[in-house]
Amino acid sequence: MTTSAEANETAESLEKEMKEMKQYIDELDKRITTLQSTAFTLANYFFVFQGVIITIICNSSRVVLRASHRWFPFTLSILAVVLNLSALINIGLKYFQAKAQQTKFLYLYNRKEQRRKCLQQHVSPPESPDDLYRDRIKEFEPYLFLGISTIFFVAFTAVVLTGCWKFLNTEGEIGHNLPNNDKCARLCGNTNCISICTEN
């Protein structure tokens, strides 16, 4: 059985450890907030960039973009999704690691706080398993969310890539089927073209 002096000394030692743990938990909280902000910013840039590509495709007749040029927005879209997804997955993994550490240290902090109070009251602290803070379902949820988000980004990119390939190809087919020689004049507006030819 510990004496009152030993209990006070142990309580002071616990307070010092708890103070250090609290500082580390606060640092983790700031890191988590920064990672969240960075992830949302990257996601916004991704959608804006893909939106610009879609706008270019929809206005292809105005910017003189033909089927032979479709590789350009197609390649830009692929590069954008590869770079953004790589960055987002990397940030996501760091975020989940920081959240796991935060959960663990919060649990340990609460355990020490409980023990400190018990020492001050000269009672024995209740025993609990060391792995109580581990919740398998909560540990799996972030990775499930990351997987669903990745699928969503890939699906959105697939729509944009399909537009790059199909819509510009249609434009090329329209232009290819219309005559363009000395006896014919082609008039185009938006996505429609007409040809006016003179007879011999």
- The radius of gyration of the chain's CA atoms, rounded to the nearest angstrom, is 31
**184: helix, coil or strand?**
strand
Length, in residues, of the chain: 200
Report whether pLDDT(30) > 90.
yes
- Give the CA-trace dihedral at 19, 23, 29, 31, to 10 degrees: -160
Q: Which residue type is seen at 185? A: A
Q: 85-115 burial, b if ≥16 CB within 10 A, otherwise e?
A: bebbeebbebbbebbbebbebbbbbebbeeb
pLDDT tens readout for residues 124-172 = 655 555 544 455 666 677 778 888 888 888 888 888 888 777 766 554 4
Mean of the pLDDT values across residues 35-43?
90
Q: Measured between alpha carbons, how far is 101 from 56 in angstroms, rounded to an integer?
A: 45
3-state class percentages of the chain: helix first, strand second, coil last, to nearest 5: 75, 5, 20
Q: What's residue 137's pLDDT?
A: 64
Highest mean pLDDT among 46-55, 93-102, 133-142, 186-195: 93-102
Looking at 17-26, 82-91, 139-148, which range is the least confident one?
A: 139-148
pLDDT tens readout for residues 52-63 = 877 777 765 555
**127: helix, coil or strand?**
coil
Q: What's the pLDDT band for 112 if we cut at 50, 70, 90? A: confident
Structural domain for 64, as ranges: 4-197
pTM for this prediction: 0.64
Q: What's residue 142's pLDDT?
A: 75
Query: Where is pLDDT greater, at 1 or 120?
Result: 120
Highest mean pLDDT among 1-15, 49-63, 103-117, 123-137: 103-117
Domain count, the chain: 1
> How much is the mean pLDDT over the chain?
74
Angle at 25 between CA 19 and CA 27, to 5 degrees: 105
